[in-house]
Each structure stands twice: as C-alpha cells, then as structure tokens.
Amino acid sequence: MKKKLILIIFIGIYCPIIIAQKKEVYLNDDLKYISKLEFNSTIENFKYYTLKYDTDSVIINVKVERITKGKIKNLYIRKD
C-alpha cells in the first residue's frame, strides 16, 4: 500500500515536468523557419539582433537583420 502511494506521488510530481517541455522555434526576419545552427551563426553577427518570445507551449526565437539608414544629427542628441 505504501509503495503504491509513493509511486503515485512520484508520478504526480515528475510526470508534468517531463511532459511540459517547451518546443523551440527559430525564425528569420521573413518569419520562415531556420535551423538552430543558422540562427546561432556568428558570421557578420553585428548585422543581426535576436528577439525571444516565450509562451506557454513554445519558445520563439527570431533573427532580425539590422538596417542602418542616415546619420544622427546633433539636434537629436540630448545634452545632460
């Protein structure tokens, strides 16, 4: 009787932990699936930044290309 109770407690504690693993998804800036290796590639890493969204069932990683346009004028820089 005690063995059954211990087994039920053990399953009740560890089963949700094992089942509740989240799936990770990797996307590019066009929201197309890419591999984890491509997402973590370090070639020209300064051109990209990453976004991470965490939901109940999935972790979404998005790799977005950084586009620079124009220059910052001194007028827009705050002087403290």
- Residue 11 in domain: no
Query: Using CA atoms, how far apart are residues 25 and 33, in angstroms rounded to an integer?
Result: 7
Query: Using CA atoms, how far apart are residues 27 and 34, in angstroms rounded to an integer?
Result: 5
What DSSP string runs through 46-73?
GGEEEEEEE-SSEEEEEEEE----S---
Q: Which residues contact 22 (CB under 8 A, 6 or more apart)?
A: 54, 57, 58, 59
Q: pLDDT 10s per residue in the chain (80 long)?
A: 778 888 777 777 766 655 667 789 999 888 899 998 888 886 667 788 889 999 878 899 999 888 777 676 666 666 65
- Residue 39 in domain: yes
- Residue 54 in domain: yes
Query: Using CA atoms, how far apart are residues 34 and 25, in angstroms rounded to an integer?
Result: 8
For residue 63, what are the domain limits?
22-67
Number of folded domains that form the chain: 1
- Residue 42 in domain: yes
- Residue 14 in domain: no
- Residue 40 in domain: yes
- Residue 38 in domain: yes
